[in-house]
Amino acid sequence: MSKKAVLICISAIVVLLAVVAVAVSVLYSGVETGRDSGLNDSRYSLFHAVPSDAVAVLRFSDVEKMTAMLADTASAASYLVPSSETSFSRFLTRLSALSSGRSLPLASSSAVLSLHYNGSLIPLVIADAGRAGQGISDEAAALAAEADSAGLYSSYTDCGEFEDVDSRLARKSILLISPSDALVKSAQRHLSRNISVIDSDGFSLSASDAAGEDLLFISGRNMKKLFDGMFTGKYRRHADFFSRMSEWNSFSVTFSGSSHVGLAGNASFSEDAADFMKIFSSVQPGTSSVSSMLPSYAFFAASLPFGDVGAYIDAYQQFADAGNGAVKLLSARKELARRSGVSPVEWASSLSIQEAGVVSFYAGKNLEQVVLLKVGKEDVPLIFKGTDVTGLKGYEPKVHPYAYAGFAASLFGPMFNAGDESCFTYMDGWIISGSAVGVGEYVSGRALENTLKGYMADAGLEDRLSAANRCFVSYFSLSENPEALGGIFSKRYAESMARSLEGITYEPVTMSVGKEKSSLEICLDLDRVTVKKSKPPVFERDTVIAVSRGPFKVKNSGTGRTNLFYQQDNMYLCLQEENGKGIWAAPFETPIAGRAGTIDYFANGKLQILFASGSKLHLIDRLGRFVSPFPIDLGKNILLGPDIYDFNGSRRYNVMVLHDDNTIDMYNLQGRKPLQWKGITAQETIKGLPEALKAGGRTYWVVRTSMQTLIYPFYGGEPLTKGTGDRMIRPDSKVVPVSGNAVKAVCYDGKEHEFRL
């Protein structure tokens, strides 16, 4: 696992809870908030120097571990400081180098990293610098020098000089390090006044329950600040999910192997019925089986396994009563009963519902949401009301009209509102409801041809959704649709999250609320793996082709600099410097086809930009003037392209384009295909332009489809690799030449095979 994963995990956890918060929309906590600074635990001595406005605090057993967790790449620091501030990144990189050389100052000293919000997240490092009254040690001075050389602010502070400071801290000296001089001074002021994060309402209560040496504390009260910096407006308004759950939320941080980070902590809640967590404390936990009914391509999922569905409904009713939502809830149930002829509560009881789940997944470009209800009693007339189904013998799942739209949301909470719940089907003891498209994914066999349970097993992961004694489980895949992260995270954080996925094919975050005796435990896990083995697909699913409008890097032959060419929403074509300074904008009328590159069309050293739109190739020069004899019409609409090739270096260019009829063709700049060209196509959707592959002195084309990787001869025709089942080459596999005309690639069986071309 990348060493930056702890920061990635924090971001993923927060966004996971945000998604839950959006769905639940109702969470209120009356956690005791009395001031209590009598925390007598040596683990928290450095916390007395953390200013009280901290959004989050990470406690590390030593500086060595802090460095290992944070100092992998500069992108780790992007979670902590604005992208324009590189000082903290430089500091972490330097610490990593010193650690590798076994010369890291204060390596074995405990450390705390707190995050504070002032328009962006600002870090403060507090390191144990030795005993008080002995002056700054050589190691502390060396660490301070590293901070100073990186452009950070640092201050050695002898805590014995402060009156009334915590007795444990009074015996220490500390080193304060931050990109913000104001934050360093704030920490010193807090020390002088004997005020710290420990005095924050609820912190001591949370800290007293925390176990382990490496800890994470998240402030509920300051969560809005974190959400403002991390999320888009749609999710910022749900920051109260954390704040209403507890003033402070503490987690122990554990690492297992090289690809997993886990957080575990106790959930604090009051006995007030208006506390949503009280619902979980009032019900009997169960074991979820929803993962066997979720598609491997699930984006988000959540489930409530019931020991007793009636007990949950009663607890949810009490919560609504206490929160002044009872009238609205009862009115909704009354209307549903009038419309369907049976009350939702009676319906749930008659079916003995054992689990309620919800899943979101992409079907084409649209995000579908489906509700899943596991029934204990197969009451066929009740389940299939309004259909012609009278028995289950010989029943084949079909898309039926659904008579009980809205029932699940009225019984279990707004999370189970699928929006369009007009259709349903019945499979393996589960009612599956949603839109015709969403339910159709199940009926067609696509959804369950490879279940999430099976996919996690193929990835070498345990089924974290099926742990015992759970009241609630949820799942969020960061890797399923990286483009969707931009709709959740603010731009900077979305870019950081996307970078974290480089080299990773599967990155799930799971959360569960468990019940142990009288206490509730929150567990969060993040896994980062590269999946090599998985069930070969039977159905196409990922048929959406990404077509970018830029920016594309192009060389400016006039200046010698790299420029950026792109298309605006108003269709104008633009050229700008890499620093953002505009050069020109030219009017255009149709979308470009996702590629642009430079050619020397007149062979005079002056470069022009070649791109495609509609069925035509266009050429525009560095001054924004269109070049004749272009445009050249290829006769078929271009979906993606062109990729430009100069095979013999003579400036006799050829281009490859993907047409909208799922064919790839090669053309010269006069719009003619080579005489030997046989074309490239596939039975399933071609996902992009081919990749040139050199093997045995010849050039081949590697083509990625929605289901597999195919390799074609230089002039196209039939593919040279025709695997079936688990011997198909995975669409994400590298294709590597080995010897002669042989290449190696990974198939769906998870093994690397050799193919002779």
Give the model confidence (pLDDT) of 435-489 as tens digits.
Answer: 999 999 999 999 999 999 999 998 889 998 998 899 999 998 888 877 777 777 7
Backbone angle region of 445, left / alpha / beta, with phi > 0 → left and psi within -120 to 50 → alpha? left
Cβ 202 vs Cβ 33: under 8 Å = yes
Other C-beta atoms closer than 10 Å to the C-beta of 256 total 11
In this model, does residue 82 exceed pLDDT 70? Answer: no
Is pLDDT at 155 greater than 60 in this prediction?
yes
Length of the chain: 757
Residue matched to tokens 């509102």: 417
Put residue 671 in one of left, alpha, beta given phi > 0 → left and psi -120 to 50 → alpha. left
DSSP, res 392: S
pLDDT score of 241? 54
Share the mean pLDDT of the chain. 85
Residue 226, classed as helix, strand or coil, is: helix
At residue 243, the pLDDT reads: 57
DSSP element (H, E) containing 545: none
Look at domain 552-756 and name its CATH class. Answer: mainly beta
Question: What is the pLDDT, as a whole number, of residue 308?
Answer: 92
Half-sphere exposure of 160 toward its Cβ, with a 13 Å CA cutoff?
A: 11
Q: Is the pLDDT of residue 25 over 50?
A: no
pLDDT tens column, 553-567: 999 999 999 999 999
C-alpha pair distances (Å), 195 with each of 29, 379, 449: 26, 63, 58
- For residues 70 and 638, the model is more confident at 638
CB atoms within 10 A of CB 631: 17
Alpha helices in 138-290 (DSSP H): 138-149, 167-170, 181-192, 203-209, 223-230, 233-236, 240-245, 276-282
Beta-strand relationship, 663-668 and 654-659: antiparallel
Query: Highest mean pLDDT range out of 11-20, 254-263, 630-639?
Result: 630-639
- Domain borders along the chain are 5-254, 269-477, 552-756
pLDDT, residue 34, reads 31
Q: For residues 14 and 23, what is the distance between their CA atoms, to the nearest angstrom?
A: 14
56 bridge partner residues:
115, 218
Among 244-258, 290-304, 369-383, which is the least confidently predicted range?
Answer: 244-258
DSSP annotation string for 576-635: EETTS-EEEEE---S-EEEEEEEE-TTSSS--EEEEEETTEEEEEETTS-B-TT--EE-S
Binned at pLDDT 50, 70 and 90, residue 246 comes out as low
CB 486 within 8 A of CB 494: yes
| Alpha helical stretches, state H, 669-742 | none
C-alpha to C-alpha distance for 431 and 424, rounded to whole angstroms: 7
414 upstream amide cis, omega within 30 of 0: no
Q: What percent of the chain has pLDDT over 90?
A: 53
What is the C-alpha to C-alpha distance for residues 718 and 93, in angstroms, rounded to an integer?
Answer: 50
Placement of tokens 């498209």 in the chain:
437
First-residue to last-residue Cα distance in the chain: 36
Go through 17-33 and write b for each residue having 16 or more CB atoms within 10 A of its CB, e for each that does not: bbbbbbbbebbbbebee
Confidence grade of residue 245 (pLDDT, cut at 50, 70, 90): low
Query: For 699-728, what is each residue's pLDDT tens digit?
Result: 999 999 999 999 999 999 999 998 888 889
* Pairwise pLDDT comparison (268 vs 442), residue with the higher score: 442
pLDDT tier at 209 (50, 70, 90 boundaries)?
A: confident
pTM (two decimals) = 0.73
Q: How far apart are CA 92 and CA 527, in angstroms?
A: 24
Cβ contact 48:261 at 8 Å:
no
Q: What is the DSSP letter of 727?
A: G
Token code pair at residue 453 = 């349970």
In 3D, which of 702, 701, 708 has the Cα closest to residue 728?
708
pLDDT tier, 317 (very low <50, low <70, confident <90, very high otherwise) = confident
Listed in order, strand segments (DSSP E) in 179-246 are 215-219
Task: Find the angle CA(206)-CA(284)-CA(345) to the nearest 5 degrees.
Answer: 120
Q: Which H or E run includes 709?
A: strand 709-712
Question: What does DSSP assign to residue 729?
Answer: B
Nearest 5°: CA angle at 506, between 544 and 493?
80
pLDDT of residue 276: 63
Q: Give, in order, the Cα–Cα distances in Å from 555 to each of 560, 608, 647.
A: 7, 9, 20
What is the predicted pLDDT for the residue at 616?
98
Helix (H, G, I), strand (E, B) or coil at 414: helix
Higher per-residue pLDDT: 327 or 39: 327
Q: What is the mean pLDDT of residues 137-155?
A: 94
